[in-house]
Amino acid sequence: MGAPENKGTDPGGLVVVGTLTLPGAPRSVGYARRFLRDMVPPDHPGLDDLVTVVSELVCNAVTHTASGDGGRVTVSLLAGEGFLRMEIADDGADGRRPRLKAETGAESGRGLRIVDVLTRSWGFRPDGPGTVVWAEFRSVGRVLFRNPDMGLSRDSSTLMPTAFEGGEQ
């Protein structure tokens, strides 16, 4: 039971709303959530699902790929007609790709099941030695995004240095 590879909406009609590259460290999960909360209007009906899915996917990238071994994770938010697409790029896992695991009752291993339930579709595509895991969400009407910088650019004096230097756990 694996994720579909390269099956999703054709990326040709998508607009990049924002992208954030973070260190492959556990603290980056919180920064990824903050990034989405800063990008998507607080009254957007899918915001909680977006935040939950970014948590799962960034955590997986940090835990199961070379990103968590001194690498980086990139979170991108894209918009299309009637949907949002999140992409998480990692540094690779020696050819292993994301897959749904059979339910065993274990305390871990449910992250991609959560992603599967909360998204309209998800999958992955190889990206050199790395992998991009994508997830799409229905979006009603036109989404008016907030300020696309929101202090998140590499030149920001707040979030970026804090994320890369290890402050504010």
Running DSSP on this structure, what letter comes out for residue 119?
Answer: S
Cβ count within 10 A of residue 158 = 11
Answer whether 67's CB lies under 8 Å from 5's CB. Answer: no
* Residue among 61, 74, 84 at smallest CA distance from 11: 84
Give the per-residue pLDDT at 150. 47
In angstroms, the CA 76 to CA 136 distance is 12
Give the per-residue pLDDT at 3. 54
E strand intervals along the chain: 15-23, 72-80, 83-89, 121-127, 130-138
Q: Can you read off the two tokens belonging to residue 131?
A: 């992998």
In angstroms, the CA 10 to CA 143 distance is 19
The β-bridge partners of 132 are 89, 125
pLDDT tens per residue, range 81-126: 889 999 999 999 988 888 777 777 766 667 899 999 999 999 999 9
Give the per-residue pLDDT at 32. 96
Chain centroid to Cα 56, Å, comes to: 8
Domains, the chain, in order of start with CATH, read 11-165 (3.30.565.10)
In angstroms, the CA 7 to CA 157 distance is 38
Cβ count within 10 A of residue 33 = 17
Mean pLDDT of the chain: 82
Confidence of residue 67 (pLDDT cuts 50, 70, 90): very high
The β-bridge partners of 21 are 74
